[in-house]
Amino acid sequence: MPNLEHPAYPAADLLRLESLVPCRESQVSMLLSIFGERQQFSFPSIFIYGHTSSGKTYVMQTLLTTLQLPHVFVNCMEYFTSRLLLEEILIQLQTCSSDTEQASPVHCDSFNDFVRLFKQAVASRELQDQTLYVVLDRAEQLREMEANILPAFLRLQELTDRNVTVVLLSEIVWELFRPNVGCFEPFTMYFPDYSIGHLQKILSQNHPPEYSADFYAAYINILLGVFYMVCRDLKELRHLAALNFSKYCEPVVRGEANERDTRKLWKNIEPHLKKAMQTVYLREISSSQWERLQHDGGEPGQLKGLSAHTHVELPYYSKFLLIAAYLASYNPVRTDKRFFLKHHGKIRKTNFLKKHEKTSNHLLGPKPFPLDRLLAILYSIVDNRVAPTANIFSQITSLVTLQLLSMVGQNDQLDGPRYKCTVSLDFIRAIAR
Amino acid sequence: AHDFRSTSGDSEDTELRFVTCQSLWNQIKSETEQIQEDLNKQLLDNLVGFLSRSHSEFQEKTTEWTCRMKFREIPAAALVLGVNVTDHDLTFRGLSDVLQDNITPYVALLEAKDCPSIKNLIQKLMGQLMSCDVDVDSLEDEDYVQVSQNRIRCSMSSLINWYESVIKKTDSETPSKKRNSASRHWDSPPVVVIFKDMESFTTKVLQDFIVISSQHIHELPLVLIFGIATSPMIIHRLLPHSVSSLLCIELFQSVSCKEHLSAIIDKLLLTSQFPFKLGEKVLQVLINIFLYHDFSVQNFIKGFQLSVVEHFYSQPLSVLCCQLEDVKKRVNSLSHDQCENIRRLPSFRRYVEKQESGKQIDLLTNDTFLKEETEKLLEDLHVYHENYVSILRCLHVFTSSLPKYPLGKQIRELHCACLENRVWETEEYESSLQLARMLNKTDLVTMLQQCVEILMSSSGKEFDKTIDKLKEFLTQFQNLEAEASQERDVSVSSQKELQKKTDLYHLQKTLLELKESRRSKKLTKFEMLRFEVVDSIDSLVRKYLVPADTKTLHEIMYFNTATVLRGHLNAAPRTALHTALNNPHWYLKNQALKCDGGGISNKAPDICIVYKLHLECGRLINLVDWLEAFSTVVMAAEEPNADAASSDQVDDIIHARFIRAVSELELLGFIKPSKQKTDHVARLTWGGC
C-alpha cells in the first residue's frame, strides 16, 4: 500500500487525506508529485478522465480542501454559457481570496477580459506565491462553447503569466476534445473503474452506528452479488444499500436471527433485492414509494410501475390516423395499390419481391411519407366517409406534438410536409384493438 | 357576438333575450367549473400530500444514517392527464392555485415552446419565481426586485441566492405576518416547477436542467411536476437512466376525459335545472367532435356555449326559454309579432290542427287566448322534462347492465336514442327488453331498488303510483324467496330420482321426460313477476320517453340546427376552397356565374378557370398546354369567330392574366414549380376532394 508522502505538506494532513480517498492512493500521490510544493509552478493543464463515479470530482475536491490549496471549482454543466462560466470563476476568486466584503458584480464578456480581470484578482491576493488551481468539472461541455475557450484554458498559465493550473475533469477521452487546429496538450491522467473489491471496501466504510462493521460488510457483499452485474455506479449502489438495509436487519430486530447468521439473512434479503433491481433501480417506482412499501410490509406487486401504464386513449380518428401513419411508414409505396384498392388486379408473382424483402421493414425503421399518402390510406381504412375537416388536420399536428408522429424536414408547410411514425408495433396493436 | 339588437326591432324582445342568454350562460359556466373542481379534487389532494411529504422527510432527520447515505433525489410527480391537451390549462391553473394556497408561494409553470434551450428555461423560471415573490411581499419593495431582475445573472447560483434571501426575509418579518405565512407554508417552502407538456421538451434541456438542479437540491428544495399527455413511458424515453436515477418519480393520474364528459352531460343536459336543451342532432355533433376528434371537454363546453348563443340569437321565441316562475310574466308581455311567431311554429300548427274548429279560430286570432294556452303548454313541457329525466335514468339502470349493451353503455347514448325517435319502436329496444326478461333475481331487485331511489329523489309528482308499484314488486320478490325454498325441495327430489336410476335406457327416458316437462311447464312465479316488471318499465318508457320534437312548442327550448354548429365547429377548409374555385357562384352569388354541370364558363374569375383546367391534368402539368387551354376558354365567348384568325399567338393580356392566376394557385398551395421537367409544375393535391 503506497503511503502518501510529500515533503511540502504536513504528515497529519496526508494521513487524513489517505483515509478519505480509499482505493485512489496511487492517483493522489501522482497528482501530488505533479503539483509539487505550494509555490512551485505546476503543469499548466491536467486532464483527468474516467468512467462515471470513478471518484474524479471527489478526489480532486478532497485533495484541494484537505491540503488547503487555493482553488476554484466550477461545474461547466451548470454554467452553460462561456460568459457565465468565466464570471463564476472570477466571483469564486474574489470570495475565496480576500476578506474584503462582496466586490462589485463582475462583467466579463470575452476571454480577453477574463485574462485581465484574472490577473487583477490574483494580484490583489496575498497568495501570489502559491499555485492556484482552477478545476473545471464536466469539461466536455466546454466543447460546445466558443471555439477559443478550451485552448485558452489549456494555456491559461502562459496567457496570464501567473502561477495557475487548470484541471479538466471529464468522462470522455482527450482525443475527443482535441480541436482540429491543434492546441497545447494537457497532461492526461486516467482514473480506472473501481473493481468489485474496491466497491466493497468503500461501501463498507460507512456503516450505520447501530451495527458492527462486519455485519454491514456482509450485507454489502450480498448487495454487490446481486447488483454488480447491472450497476457499478458507486452513488447508485450506496443509495440502494441505504434503501434496503432496514429490510436486511428485520430478522435481527425481530430476534429471529443474530448478526452472524449470514445464511438466514441472505435468504431473507435476496429475493427482496432482486425485486428492487426490477423496480427501484429502473425507477419504475420511486425510492420513497419503495420505502413506504417496505415499511408497510406490502407486496411490490400492488404498486404499478411507470411502464405498466402504457395504454394511451386516443380519439377515434386519431387512432385511425396513427394506424394509417404506421402503415405508410412501414409499407413500401408500391404495395399501397395492392392493399388499399378494391380492384387491384392480380398479384404478379415475381422473384424480385423476394430479393428485396428479405430484411424486415421493421428492422429498417420507419420511412417518411407525404401527407397526401397518409390521408389516402386513412380514407381507405375508415369505413364511412371522412370529410377533410380542419379537425383532422389539427389532429395530425397534435399527434406530432405528442411525439407519436414526427415531422421530417422542417421546410415549408405548404410544400407537402412529410412525416414519420415513431410508435412501435405493440403500441399500434394496442390501439387497433 | 352578442349584438342581438341589430336583427330587428325590439318587438322580438331582443334585449330580454340577451339578458336571459347571459344569465343562463353564467349559470352554466359556474356549474361546469364546479364540476371540474370536484373531479380534480382527488388528484389535487394527492399531489398536495406528495409535495408536503417530499421535502419534509429531509428536514426532519438530516442527521440519521440512512438519510446521510441515501442519494438525495429530486422529488418529481408524473401527472398523466390524457391526450386532451386543451383541457390541461385549467387543471394546471387549478393546481398552481391550490399549491400557492397550501404549500408554497413559489410555483413556476413552464411550457416547451418557451424553453428551446436551458438558458431560456432558467430565465423563464427565474422570471416567474421572482415575480411571484413580488406578489407575496405585497409590492412593498417592487423597485428593488425590478432592478435586480434587470441585471441578474441567469444561473442556478443566483436562483439559490434569491431563495436564501427570500427565506431570510420571511424569517425576519414582523411576527404577525410571519405567523400568517407560517400557518400556510413552512419556513422553507419547496420550489415547484411544473413542466406543462413534457413530450414537447427537448431531451437535452430537460436532462441538463435535472442534472444541474440535482446538484443544488440541498440548497434549493425543488419539486418537479411533469404534465404528460400520453403515457408515463415517455419519461424513460426522454431521459436516460443516468438522469432518471436522479429523480424520485411518483405517478398521478387525472380523471379520464370521458368520465369528465359524462359528468358534464349529467349535470348540464340531464337535469331540469336549465331550461335550455340540446336537440338530438346538435348533441350528436358535439359528442362526435369529442369522440372522433379531440377528447376535449373544453371544446365541448365551447360548443355548448355556441349553441346557447345561437339559439337565443336566431329564435325570437327563446325569450320564453326561462325558469318556470318567469314564464307567466313573459308570456303575458309578448307582443303581437311574437304571438304570430308562435303561430308559425310547426309544432304549434300541428297542435292547432288537432283541436276542434272553435278553439282553432281562437288560437289563431285571439292573442290573449293564445297566451293562456302557451303558458299551459310550456308548463306541460317543464313537467315532461322532469319526468323524462327520471325515467331515462331508470331505463339506463336496466340497459346499462345488459350484456353487449344494445342501447349503449353510457346514458348519453340512451339519451340520444330517446331524442331521435320513439325508442320503443327500435330494434335495439326490443332486444334489450328481451334480455331484461332473462335477468336473474338479485340483479333485478337491485335495479328496482335503484329505480325507486331515482324516482323518490325526483321532483315529479306523478311518480307516487309508480313508486308504489315498484315497491310492491320488491315485496313480492321477497315473498318469492320464502316460496322458493319449498320449490327447491321439489326439484332436489326429482334430481335424486335421476341419480337413482343407473340403467341407460331409463336414464334417457327420464331425461326426455324432464325436458318435455320443462318445455311445457308453466312459468314459475318468479318468471311471471319478471315479465310484469319488464312490462311496467316498458309502459313507463312509452309514456314518458316521448321524443321531444313531438311536443308542442319544443322549438322554444330545444336548439336543433346542427348544420350551423357543424359549419362553425367542424370547418372543412379544403372543401370550402374547392367549392369556391369550382363553383364561384356558391360564394359570389352572381347570376352570370351560375354554371351548368361540368362546363367551364369564361365569366368566372381567372383563378377558377385555371383551377378547373388543372383538375383535368395529371401530376405534372405542362404550362404551355395549360396556357393554351386557358386562352381558348377565355377567348371562346369573347369572340367566337376570331379564334381562327389569331390561332397561335396568345394575347399579352391573357398571358399576364394566366400567369397571375397560376401564381395565385401556387400561393394557395395547389401547385409548386417542379425540377423534374422544364416548363412543368407539379400538382400538390389529388382528385376534387
Question: Which tens digits make up the pLDDT trace of A141-193?
Answer: 888 888 888 888 988 888 888 888 999 999 899 888 888 787 888 999 999 88
| E strands in B584-623 | 620-622
Scanning the structure block, which residue is given the C-alpha cell 348563443?
Answer: B309
Torsions phi, psi for B286 (to 5 deg): -65, -45
Scanning the structure block, which residue is given the C-alpha cell 392555485?
Answer: B97
Torsions phi, psi for B526 (to 5 deg): -60, -45
Rg (C-alpha) for chain A, rounded Å, is 31
Lowest mean pLDDT among A87-96, A144-153, A288-297: A288-297
B293 at interface of A, judged by CB pairs closer than 8 A: yes
- What domains are defined for chain A? 11-190 (3.40.50.300), 196-308 (no CATH), 316-340+362-432 (1.10.10)
Mean pLDDT of B653-665: 90
Q: Taking CB atoms and an 8 Å limit, are B69 and A206 in contact across chains?
A: yes
Checking if the pLDDT of B183 tops 60, the result is: no
B65 at interface of A, judged by CB pairs closer than 8 A: yes
Checking if the pLDDT of B358 tops 80, the result is: yes
A331 at interface of B, judged by CB pairs closer than 8 A: no
B147 at interface of A, judged by CB pairs closer than 8 A: no
pLDDT digit string (tens) for B414-455? Answer: 888 888 888 888 888 888 888 888 888 788 888 888 888 888
Q: Taking CB atoms and an 8 Å limit, are B292 and A316 in contact across chains?
A: yes
Which distant-in-sequence residues (6+ apart) come within 8 Å of B354 by Cβ? none
pLDDT digit string (tens) for A313-335? Answer: 888 888 899 999 998 888 888 77
In whole angstroms, give the CA distance from residue B594 to residue A73: 81
Q: Taking CB atoms and an 8 Å limit, are B230 and A208 in contact across chains?
A: no
User: Would you say the C-alpha torsion A405, A408, A412, A416 has a positive or negative sign?
Assistant: negative
pLDDT digit string (tens) for B542-593? Answer: 888 888 878 888 888 888 888 888 888 888 887 888 888 888 888 887 777 7
Checking if the pLDDT of B491 tops 70, the result is: no
Asked if B434 and B409 count as a contact pair (C-beta separation under 8 A), the reply is no
Q: Is B641 exposed, middle or buried (0-12, 13-18, 19+ CB in 10 A)?
A: exposed
pLDDT digit string (tens) for A22-81? Answer: 888 888 888 888 888 888 888 889 999 988 888 888 899 998 888 888 888 998 888 888
Range from A400-414, B2-16, B68-82 that averages highest in pLDDT:
B68-82
Fold of B573-639+647-683: Arc Repressor Mutant, subunit A (1.10.10)
The per-residue pLDDT for B177 is 39
Scanning the structure block, which residue is given the C-alpha cell 394566366?
Answer: B658
In Å, how far from its chain's centre is CA B544?
28
Task: Report the chain B residue with the minimal C-alpha distance to residue A315.
Answer: B292
Average pLDDT, chain B: 79
Region of residue A40 (phi > 0: left; psi between -120 and 50: alpha; otherwise: beta): beta
| Nearest in space to A70 (alpha carbons), one of A133, A12, A24 | A133
Asked if B619 and B682 count as a contact pair (C-beta separation under 8 A), the reply is yes
pLDDT digit string (tens) for B166-180? Answer: 887 766 654 443 334
In whole angstroms, give the CA distance from residue A336 to residue A350: 17
Checking if the pLDDT of B131 tops 50, the result is: yes
Residue A302: DSSP 8-state: G
Neighbouring C-beta atoms of residue A243, cutoff 10 Å: 21
> For the structural domain made of B35-60+67-132+188-255, what CATH number should be given?
3.40.50.300
Asked if B607 and B664 count as a contact pair (C-beta separation under 8 A), the reply is yes
Helices (H) and strands (E) in chain B, counts: 31, 10
B245 at interface of A, judged by CB pairs closer than 8 A: yes
In Å, how far from its chain's centre is CA B276?
18
Checking if the pLDDT of B1 tops 70, the result is: no
Lowest mean pLDDT among A37-46, A310-319, B3-12, B275-284: B3-12
Checking if the pLDDT of B67 tops 70, the result is: no
Contacts 24+ apart (CB under 8 A), B13-21: B13/B316, B13/B319, B13/B334, B13/B335, B13/B338, B16/B319, B16/B330, B17/B312, B17/B313, B17/B316, B17/B318, B17/B319, B18/B312, B20/B312, B20/B318, B20/B319, B20/B321, B20/B322, B21/B308, B21/B309, B21/B312, B21/B313, B21/B318
The per-residue pLDDT for A135 is 92
Give the rounded percent of residues in chain A with a pLDDT score beyond 90. Answer: 3
Rg (C-alpha) for chain B, rounded Å, is 36
Q: Taking CB atoms and an 8 Å limit, are A315 and B669 in contact across chains?
A: no
Q: How far is CA B275 from CA A74, A361, B346, in A?
A: 68, 59, 20
| E strands in A56-153 | 71-75, 132-137
Give the rounded percent of residues in chain A with a pLDDT score beyond 70. Answer: 87
Mutation for A interface: B60, B294, B300, B568, most A CBs within 10 A? B294
> What are the helix (H) ranges across A255-285?
262-278
CA distance B529 to chain A (A): 41
Q: Taking CB atoms and an 8 Å limit, are A242 and B66 in contact across chains?
A: yes
CA distance B384 to chain A (A): 35
| Nearest in space to A38 (alpha carbons), one of A15, A74, A62, A67 | A67
Q: Which three cell numbers stand for residue A126?
A: 496575498
Q: Which three cell numbers stand for residue A367?
A: 420511412
Q: Taking CB atoms and an 8 Å limit, are A395 and B293 in contact across chains?
A: yes
Task: Please report which confidence band the pLDDT of residue B143 belongs to, taking 50, 70 and 90 as the band edges.
Answer: very low
Q: CA end-to-end span of chain A, whole Å?
A: 66
Mutation for B interface: A78, A238, A304, most B CBs within 10 A? A78
B235 at interface of A, judged by CB pairs closer than 8 A: yes
A74 at interface of B, judged by CB pairs closer than 8 A: no
Q: Taking CB atoms and an 8 Å limit, are A372 and B66 in contact across chains?
A: no
| E strands in B116-235 | 191-195, 222-228
Neighbouring C-beta atoms of residue A115, cutoff 10 Å: 18
B619 at interface of A, judged by CB pairs closer than 8 A: no
3-state SS, residue A45: strand
Q: How many CB pairs under 8 A join A and B?
A: 172
In whole angstroms, give the CA distance from residue A97 to residue A72: 10
pLDDT digit string (tens) for B194-248? Answer: 998 888 888 888 998 998 888 888 888 888 999 888 888 888 888 888 888 888 8
Q: Taking CB atoms and an 8 Å limit, are B229 and A402 in contact across chains?
A: yes
| Nearest in space to B198 (alpha carbons), one of B79, B75, B86 | B79
Checking if the pLDDT of B6 tops 60, the result is: no
Torsions phi, psi for B32 (to 5 deg): -65, -40
CB proximity under 8 Å: A 93-112 to B: 105
Q: Which three cell numbers stand for residue A223?
A: 448487495
A57 at interface of B, judged by CB pairs closer than 8 A: no
User: Would you say the C-alpha torsion B508, B512, B518, B519 has a positive or negative sign?
Assistant: positive
Checking if the pLDDT of B647 tops 60, the result is: no
CA distance A332 to chain B (A): 20
In whole angstroms, give the CA distance from residue A191 to residue A54: 6
Asked if B613 and B632 count as a contact pair (C-beta separation under 8 A), the reply is no
In whole angstroms, give the CA distance from residue A91 to residue B157: 11
Checking if the pLDDT of A1 tops 70, the result is: no
Residue B445: DSSP 8-state: H
The per-residue pLDDT for B145 is 45
| E strands in A148-272 | 164-170, 187-191
In whole angstroms, give the CA distance from residue B224 to residue B191: 8
pTM confidence score: 0.80
Quote the ipTM score: 0.87
Q: Which three cell numbers stand for residue B638?
A: 369573347
Q: Which three cell numbers stand for residue B76?
A: 418529481
Neighbouring C-beta atoms of residue B276, cutoff 10 Å: 24
A38 at interface of B, judged by CB pairs closer than 8 A: no
Cα dihedral B399/B400/B402/B403 (nearest 10): 140
Mean pLDDT of B135-156: 50
Instruction: Tell me the one-letter amino acid at A314.
Output: L
Q: Which of A77, A241, A318 sits opposite B69 (nearest CB)?
A: A241
pLDDT digit string (tens) for B83-123? Answer: 888 888 888 888 888 888 887 788 888 888 888 888 888 88
Q: Which three cell numbers stand for residue A277?
A: 433491481
CA distance B325 to chain A (A): 42
Mean pLDDT of B406-411: 81
pLDDT digit string (tens) for A207-231? Answer: 777 788 888 888 888 888 888 888 8
CA distance B427 to chain A (A): 22
Which distant-in-sequence residues (6+ apart) come within 8 Å of B483 by Cβ? B525
3-state SS, residue A168: strand
CA distance A369 to chain B (A): 14
Residue spans of the domains in chain B: they are 35-60+67-132+188-255, 260-483+522-559, 573-639+647-683
Checking if the pLDDT of B480 tops 60, the result is: yes
Task: Please report which confidence band the pLDDT of residue B147 belongs to, taking 50, 70 and 90 as the band edges.
Answer: very low
Mean pLDDT of B335-341: 85
In whole angstroms, give the CA distance from residue A3 to residue A25: 8
